[in-house]
Structure 1
Amino acid sequence: MSSTNPTENKIAGHAGAAELPSPTRVLRQFRVVFNAVKTHFRNVEKAAGIGGSQLWALSVVQQRPGIGVGELARALDVHQTTASNLLKSLAAQGLIALDRNGSDRRAATVTLLPAGEVRLGSAPGPFAGVLPDALATLDARTLVRMEHDLSILIAALEAGTAGADIPLADL
């Protein structure tokens, strides 16, 4: 069985890839995806000197000055503790300011400092990462199909939902 789609052959690794078993071809596709994600985050860290999750958080703070920790966690689709830890690290590096002027001293609003602007300017995009950016370009039907198929794969892995709110850059 040979594929007539040259892109499928290229992604699978070589012209004879269509002759490989389906699990091998799909595994190769996952490798391509993981490599693209890993390479992007490596380039981000090299250019900006901070990790991909921190860069994404900085970009959200830039877009939404005065954002709170809970809102940032929702924007990044991470647990609030993860967002809080990201912000503590960014504040320690002098990239953001945490303002706790309200009546609830636990609540903080976040603003980007000039050093944070510089870091954002030195980093390659997309700030959210290449995978979220690519997923955002897909049509609804494709996303629904992928969600369904990935749910089946997750069940086969017996992985549950552990790790669903961990940023890709931190995996």
Structure 2
Amino acid sequence: MDSIRRIVRLLRVSARASERLVGISGAQLFVLQQLAEAGACSIGELAEATLTHQSSVSVVVSRLIERGFVSRRASEVDARRAEVTLTPAGRTLLSRAPPMAQAHLISGLRRMDVAERGALAQGLSALVREIGADAQAPTLFFEDDAPPRRRKRTQNHEET
């Protein structure tokens, strides 16, 4: 239990720092950071980079597009392929953002021996089944806990 507590605390503290320092969820910042490393890429490629399901990444990317940090466009190489890329606003936000714990977690997992990773995956899967959480879709860390966005007021005071 202590190890699980340490990991969850690390992730929670990292997510709160993201929200406090740059105003977006930890999951959104993690996706931005992975996109900065990968360059223009598809949602599927971004899902691979974040070790997350495409549907979860797609939801986060949609929120980032709404905020103007990411854009979606047809690939220059293959117009049938959609790619996402950072906008100048996304790059600016990243320049003042803290590193995310998710990146450290993924790096640590990749450094583990294959047998250790397999045993960890099996053990965690068994635990998830035993506590009845296997029916829940796995999202990016704390994305479902993201604070609601503040709405801007227009000049005629209608909410947008």
TM-score (norm 2): 0.72
Larger mean CA deviation between 128-137 and 86-95 belongs to 128-137
**Pairing 1:151–2:151 present:** no
Secondary structure class of the residue paired with 1:83: helix
Q: Specify which of 75, 92, 100 is matched with residue 66 of structure 2.
A: 92
Deviations 1:103-124 (A, max 9, x none): 65xx532221121112112111
1:142 Cα offset (Å): 2.6
Structure 1: gaps spanning 5 or more residues: 1-25
Give the 5 Å matches for 1:33-52. 33-52=7-26
Please give the alpha-carbon distance, in whole angstroms, between the structure 2 residues aligned to 1:124 and 1:114: 18
**Pairing 1:168–2:141 present:** yes
Q: Across the two proteins, how many residue pairs are aligned to each other?
A: 142
Structure 2: gaps spanning 5 or more residues: 145-160
Percent sequence identity over aligned pairs: 25
Give the 5 Å matches for 1:1-171. 26=1, 28-100=2-74, 104=80, 108-126=82-100, 128-160=102-134, 162-164=136-138, 166-171=139-144
Q: CA RMSD in A?
A: 2.5
Counterpart of 2:47, as a letter, is A
TM-score (norm 1): 0.68
Please give the alpha-carbon distance, in whole angstroms, between the structure 2 residues aligned to 1:55 and 1:31: 22
Deviations 1:139-163 (A, max 9, x none): 3333222223223322322332533
1:129 Cα offset (Å): 4.2
- The higher radius of gyration belongs to 1
Verify the 8 A CA contact 2:14 2:101 in the aligned structure 1.
Answer: no
